[in-house]
C-alpha cells in the first residue's frame, strides 16, 4: 500500500546535521495547539521529503533546543511537511511566537511507523485521544487514498472538550471518503450535541464484524491507550493486531543518548509505534 | 584499532624496563597523543604523558566498596595498580563535545556539524576489562542504524597498548563477566610487566610494525614463565563474583522486588557509578549560545539515568524516585542491554562499587534478588496470609 515515489531521504551521513526549513503557514487548531507547515530550503528536500505515517522529526530552534514532533501531514503530499504542536515547554512556546517565514532546523524522519501494509484486507480501527490524532492523520490520508484495499474503517476520537477536537473541518471529507468518524468529549458545553464520556465507551458499543481480522492503531495518553487496548482485547481483537504509539523524552532521536529508554526499547528508533505484544509486559510497570 | 587489522598474536618479545620510554617516543613520533596512567589528587587517572616518569611507578591502589586509596608498593612496577576512576571512554566519547553549530544569517540559520579531524590517541595501559568496555561502546556508537561520527573517528584513529593485570582489587569481578584479566584481542600491543621488563605481544599490523621498531629481544622461557605467573596472580586474587546465569530474566521478572526499595534507602542517586562506568553512554545535548545569540553550539555532555530530570517528559518525571532510577540503571546494565546490544553492559571492572560513596555493590544486590526472588516472596506472604 505504500506509495513509491522519487524519494530523497533526509538522512545525512552525520545524524547530528539538521536541515533548514521555513514555516510556510501556521494554522491554529485548538487552544494552545497549531499546525506548522514546513518547507525545506534545500530544493531536493522541498520536493522530496519522504516519511512513513507515525514517524517524527526533531524540530530545532537554535539557542533553545530540539523537540520531537510527529509529522501530521499526507505522506503523498510533498509540497509541505505539517507538524501539529501543543505549546508545552520552552521550545514549543518559542515556536508559537514565530511567524510565517521563520527558519527552523529539522532532523528526520525518525522512528517506526504504523503498519500500513498489514491493514490490507482487514478492518481498521483508529482510536485517538487529544493531540494523539496528529500522528494518526498521515495514516488516515494514506488509508483513504487506498480505501478499496481494506474493509471497515473507523476513527474513535476523544478530547477533553469540544474545542479540543483536532481537524474538525476535515471530518466531513473523511466521512465522504469512507472513514466512520465518531467523537466524544469528557466535558461538554450547551452547544455540544455529541457524545460525552471516555473513548472506550465508543469502542464498547462499536459493532465489530470480524474482530479476528481487525487492526487497532491507537495514540493518546498512556492511560487512554491502556484502557482502549483492554477493551479491544475483551472484544476479541488479537494482541498482535494492536499497535500503540508511545512517548518518552527524546534528546538525540538516534538511539545514542539513552533518554527515551522504555525497558529494552529505545522509543526513538525501536518506536514510537510498537506492536502491543512487544511492550505489553512493561506498559503497566510504574516509573519504568 | 579495528577488527580488520587484527592479526594472530606474534611470538612474544621482551622489552627491558629501560626500553619503555622508547615505546612512548615511537608513538609520539608517529603523531599520537599518548594517554596513560598518572597520579593526580590521590588517584590514578588518565592524562597526556610524555615520559615514563609520568607513570605511577611504585604505586598501587587499595579498593573496597566506597573506598579507594593509593599505597606504595614494595617494588618499582609501572603498572602495579588495578583501575582508577577514569576510563578510556572519556577520550572516545568525550564528556563534553560539540555535535553541531548554528550561525544566524541574513535570512535564517546556517546549520553545520564540526568537521575537524579527530585527535589521534595512543592509549597506554588498557586493561582487559577496558578493552571489553571499548568493544561494548563500539556496538553502542557504531553498531546500529545510526553511527556517532565523533566516537567513530576517534576510535578508528586510536592505538591500543594493553597491559595485562598482575594484581586485582577486591572489587574486581572480570572473571565472572568473562572479560579478563588476560587481554586476548582488541589491542595493537599488549604488555605483561615482570621484574626486569615487559613481555610484549602484537595483535595487529600496526602493532607488529611498531614492535619492529622497539629494542626488543625474543622472550626467554623463564621470562615467559614469569609473565604467566604474574598474570595468574591477578586471576588468583579475584574473589568477587556475579552469577550471570539467566540474569536477564532474573532481573526483568523481578521489577517489583522489595530489594529495589531497600537499595533506594542507601543510594544517594549521585551518578558516580554512571560517571566511572566504562560503558555507560547516556548524554544530553544542550544549547550554548554566545551573548548575541547569533552563534550556537549544540554541546553533548555525559548525563546519567540517576539525574531526576533525565526522564523528564512534558508533564512530569517518569522515574521520580531513587528506586526507579536505580532499577533502571541495574536492569539496563545487566539485563535489557542484552536485548539492545547482544551483550552485558557490565565488564566487571568494579568501578561502580569502589566509587559509590555508600559502597553499594551491584553483585550483592543481584545476589539478594537471586536468593529470594519475587515469586518466593509471594509464596511466603501467601502462607503467612498477608496481602
Residue B63 lies in a domain: yes
Supply the pLDDT for residue B387.
43
Shared-domain flag, residues B67 and B181: yes
Asked if A61 contacts A87 with a C-beta cutoff of 8 angstroms, the reply is no
In a shared domain, residues B87 and B186? yes
Q: At A217, is the secondary structure helix, strand, or coil?
A: strand
User: Quick one: B233 and B253 in the same domain?
Assistant: no
**Domains recognised in chain A with CATH numbers:** 19-109 (2.40.30.10), 117-245 (3.40.50.80)
**Greatest distance between any 2 Cα atoms in chain B:** 75
How high is the pLDDT of residue B60? 97
Residue B56 domain-assigned?
Answer: yes
Q: How far is B101 from chain A (nearest CA, A)?
A: 9
**pLDDT given at position B386:** 45
Residue B11's pLDDT is 78
The answer to whether residue B3 is domain-embedded is: no
Q: Are A51 and A11 in contact (CB under 8 A)?
A: no
Q: Which residues of B touch A248 (CB under 8 A)?
A: 311, 313, 318
pLDDT digits (tens, 9 = 90+) for B277-331: 999 999 999 999 999 999 999 999 999 999 999 998 877 889 999 999 999 999 9
To the nearest whole number, what is the mean pLDDT of chain B? 94
Q: Which of B202, B237, B272 is the last residue of a domain?
A: B237
Are B357 and B228 members of one domain? no
Interchain proximity A287–B318, CB inside 8 Å: yes
What's the average model confidence in pLDDT over B50-75?
A: 97
In angstroms, rounded to a whole number, what is the distance separating the alpha carbons of residues A64 and B187?
A: 42
Spell out which residues of chain B touch residue A19, defining contact as CB-CB under 8 Å: 111
pLDDT above 90: percentage of residues in chain A: 87
% of chain A surpassing 70 pLDDT: 97
Within a domain: B22: yes
For B76-101, what is the mean pLDDT? 97
Confirm or reject contact between B239 and chain A (CB < 8 A). Answer: no
Burial of B147 by CB count in 10 Å (0-12 exposed, 13-18 middle, 19+ buried)? middle
pLDDT band per the 50, 70, 90 thresholds, residue B158: very high
Distances (CA, A) of B286 to B90, B100, B189: 19, 10, 38
Whether B25 and B136 map to the same domain: the answer is: yes
Instruction: State mean pLDDT over B198-219.
Output: 96
What would the pLDDT profile of B217-242 be if each residue is shown by its tens digit? 999 999 999 999 999 999 999 999 99
% of chain B exceeding 70 in pLDDT: 94
Over range B136-148, report the average pLDDT: 96
Same domain, B221 and B278: no
- Residues B327 and B225 grouped into a single domain: no
Exposed/middle/buried for residue B98 (C-beta within 10 Å: 0-12, 13-18, 19+) = middle
Task: Select from B237, B264, B295 the last residue of a domain.
Answer: B237
Query: How far B369 CA lies from chain A's nearest CA (Å)?
Result: 18
* Boundary residue ending a domain (B217, B237, B257): B237
- Asked if the interface predicted TM-score (ipTM) of this complex is over 0.95, the answer is no
pLDDT (average), residues A61-76:
96
Q: How far apart are the first and last CA of chain B?
A: 57
Rounded Cα distance, B355 and B349, in Å: 11
At residue B2, the pLDDT reads 46
State the average pLDDT over residues B114-126.
95
The per-residue pLDDT for A3 is 42
In the three-class reduction of DSSP (H, G, I as helix; E, B as strand; rest coil), residue B71 is classed as strand
Domain shared by B233 and B358, yes or no:
no
**How do residues A116-175 score in pLDDT, each as one tens digit?**
999 999 999 999 999 999 999 999 999 999 999 999 999 999 999 999 999 999 999 999
Report CB contact under 8 Å: B140, A256: yes
Cell of residue A57, nine digits = 522529526
The alpha-carbon gap from A152 to the nearest alpha carbon of chain B, in Å, equals 35
Q: Which of B226, B216, B159, B237 minimizes the C-alpha distance to B192? A: B226
3-state secondary structure of A126: strand
Which pLDDT belongs to residue A70?
97
**Alpha carbon distance B182, B9 (integer Å):** 13
Percentage with pLDDT > 90 across chain B: 90
The grid coordinates listed for A139 are 495514516
Q: How far is A245 from chain B (nearest CA, A)?
A: 15
Residues B317 and B228 in one domain: no
Which residues 241-270 in chain B show a CB within 8 A of chain A? 252, 255-256
Q: Could B112 and A17 be called an inter-chain contact, meaning their C-beta atoms sit closer than 8 Å?
A: yes
- Is B149 a domain residue? yes
Residue B298: inside a domain: no
Chain A positions in Cβ-Cβ contact with residue B100 (cut-off 8 Å): 16-18
Average pLDDT over residues A73-94: 93
In a shared domain, residues B251 and B226: no
Does residue B233 sit at the A interface (CB-CB below 8 Å)? no
Q: Give the pLDDT of residue A13.
A: 85
What is the CB-side half-sphere exposure of residue A118 using CA atoms within 13 A?
15
Q: How confident is the model at residue A99 (pLDDT cuts 50, 70, 90)?
A: confident
Q: Confidence band (pLDDT; 50, 70, 90) for A7?
A: very low
Residues of the domain holding B159:
12-95+118-237
What's phi and psi for B68, nearest 5 deg? -150, 120
- Nearest partner of B230 among B269, B262, B194, B277, judged by Cα: B194
- B224 in a structural domain: yes
pLDDT band of B4, cuts 50, 70, 90: very low
User: Binning pLDDT at 50, 70 and 90, where does residue B3 land?
Assistant: very low
Asked, as a colleague might, if the bond just before A109 is cis with ω within 30 of 0, I would say: yes
Position B373 scores a pLDDT of 80
For residues B274 and B356, membership in a common domain is answered with yes
pLDDT at B232: 97
Q: Which pLDDT tens digit goes with each residue over B241-254?
A: 999 999 999 999 99
DSSP state, B18?
G
Q: Which residue of B has its CA nearest to A18?
A: B111
User: B139 and B225 in one domain?
Assistant: yes
Give the mean pLDDT of B132-146: 96
Split into its structural domains, chain B has a count of: 2
In a domain, B293, yes or no: no
Cα torsion angle, B185, B188, B189, B190, sign: negative
Amino acid at each position: 500500500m505504500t506509495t513509491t515515489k522519487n524519494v530523497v531521504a533526509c538522512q545525512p551521513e552525520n545524524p547530528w546535521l539538521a536541515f533548514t526549513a521555513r514555516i510556510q503557514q501556521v494554522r491554529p487548531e485548538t487552544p494552545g495547539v497549531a499546525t506548522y507547515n514546513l518547507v525545506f530550503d534545500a530544493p531536493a528536500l522541498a520536493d522530496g521529503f519522504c516519511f512513513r505515517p507515525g514517524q517524527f522529526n526533531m524540530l530545532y530552534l537554535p539557542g533553545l533546543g530540539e523537540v520531537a514532533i510527529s509529522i501530521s501531514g499526507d505522506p503523498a503530499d510533498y509540497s509541505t511537511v505539517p507538524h501539529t504542536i501543543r505549546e508545552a515547554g520552552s521550545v514549543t512556546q518559542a515556536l508559537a511566537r514565530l511567524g510565517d517565514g521563520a527558519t527552523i532546523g529539522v532532523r528526520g524522519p525518525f522512528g517506526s511507523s504504523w503498519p500500513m501494509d498489514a491493514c490490507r484486507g482487514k478492518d481498521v480501527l483508529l482510536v485517538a485521544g487529544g493531540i494523539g490524532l496528529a500522528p494518526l492523520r498521515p495514516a488516515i490520508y494514506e488509508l483513504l487514498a487506498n480505501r478499496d484495499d481494506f474493509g471497515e474503517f473507523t476513527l474513535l476520537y476523544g478530547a477533553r472538550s469540544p474545542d479540543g477536537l483536532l481537524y474538525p473541518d476535515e471530518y466531513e471529507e473523511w466521512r465522504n471518503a469512507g472513514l466512520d468518524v465518531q467523537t466524544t468529549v469528557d466535558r461538554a458545553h450547551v452547544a455540544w450535541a455529541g457524545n460525552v464520556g471516555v473513548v472506550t465507551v465508543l469502542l464498547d458499543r462499536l459493532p465489530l464484524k470480524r474482530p479476528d481480522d481487525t487492526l487497532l492503531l491507537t495514540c493518546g495518553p498512556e492511560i487512554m491507550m491502556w484502557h482502549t487496548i483492554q477493551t479491544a482485547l475483551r472484544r476479541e481483537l488479537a494482541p498482535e493486531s494492536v499497535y500503540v504509539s508511545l512517548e518518552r523524552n527524546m534528546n538525540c532521536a538516534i538511539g545514542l543518548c539513552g533518554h527515551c529508554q522504555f525497558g529494552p526499547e529505545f522509543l526513538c528508533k525501536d518506536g514510537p509505534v510498537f506492536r502491543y505484544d512487544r511492550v505489553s509486559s512493561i506498559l503497566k510497570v510504574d516509573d519504568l | 584499532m579495528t577488527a580488520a587489522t587484527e592479526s594472530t598474536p606474534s611470538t612474544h618479545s621482551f622489552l627491558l624496563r629501560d626500553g619503555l620510554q622508547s615505546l612512548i617516543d615511537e608513538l609520539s613520533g608517529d603523531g599520537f597523543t599518548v594517554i596513560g596512567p598518572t597520579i593526580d589528587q590521590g588517584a590514578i587517572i588518565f592524562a597526556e604523558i610524555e615520559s615514563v616518569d609520568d607513570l605511577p611507578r611504585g604505586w598501587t591502589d587499595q579498593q573496597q566498596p566506597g573506598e579507594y586509596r593509593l599505597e606504595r608498593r614494595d617494588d618499582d612496577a609501572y603498572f602495579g595498580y588495578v583501575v582508577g576512576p577514569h576510563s578510556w571512554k572519556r577520550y572516545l566519547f568525550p564528556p563534553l563535545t560539540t555535535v553541531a553549530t548554528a550561525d544566524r544569517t541574513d535570512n535564517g540559520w546556517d546549520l553545520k556539524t564540526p568537521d575537524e579531524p579527530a585527535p589521534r590517541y595512543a592509549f597506554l595501559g588498557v586493561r582487559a576489562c577496558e578493552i571489553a568496555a571499548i568493544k561494548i561502546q563500539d556496538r553502542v556508537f557504531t553498531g546500529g542504524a545510526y553511527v556517532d561520527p565523533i566516537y567513530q573517528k576517534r576510535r578508528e584513529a586510536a592505538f591500543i597498548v594493553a597491559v595485562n593485570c598482575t594484581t586485582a582489587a577486591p572489587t574486581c569481578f572480570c572473571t565472572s563477566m568473562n572479560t579478563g584479566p588476560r587481554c586476548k584481542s582488541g589491542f595493537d600491543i599488549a604488555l605483561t610487566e615482570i621484574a626486569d621488563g615487559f613481555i610484549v605481544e602484537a595483535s595487529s599490523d600496526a602493532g607488529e610494525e611498531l614492535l619492529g621498531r622497539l629494542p626488543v629481544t625474543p622472550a626467554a622461557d623463564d621470562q615467559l614463565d614469569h609473565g604467566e605467573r604474574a598474570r595468574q596472580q591477578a586471576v588468583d586474587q579475584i574473589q568477587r563474583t556475579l552469577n550471570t546465569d539467566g540474569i536477564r530474566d532474573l532481573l526483568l521478572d523481578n521489577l517489583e522486588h522489595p530489594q529495589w526499595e531497600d537499595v533506594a534507602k542507601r543510594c544517594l542517586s549521585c551518578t558516580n557509578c554512571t560517571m566511572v562506568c566504562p560503558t555507560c553512554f547516556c548524554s544530553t545535548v544542550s544549547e550554548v549560545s554566545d551573548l548575541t545569540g547569533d552563534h550556537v553550539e549544540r554541546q553533548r555532555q555525559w548525563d546519567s539515568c540517576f539525574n531526576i530530570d533525565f526522564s523528564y517528559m512534558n508533564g512530569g518525571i517518569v522515574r521520580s524516585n531513587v528506586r526507579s532510577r536505580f532499577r533502571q540503571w541495574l536492569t539496563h546494565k545487566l539485563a535489557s542491554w542484552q536485548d539492545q546490544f547482544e551483550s552485558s553492559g557490565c565488564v566487571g571492572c568494579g568501578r561502580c562499587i569502589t566509587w559509590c560513596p555508600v559502597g553499594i555493590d551491584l553483585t550483592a544486590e543481584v545476589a539478594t534478588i537471586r536468593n529470594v526472588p519475587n515469586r518466593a516472596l509471594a509464596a511466603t506472604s501467601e502462607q503467612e496470609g498477608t496481602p
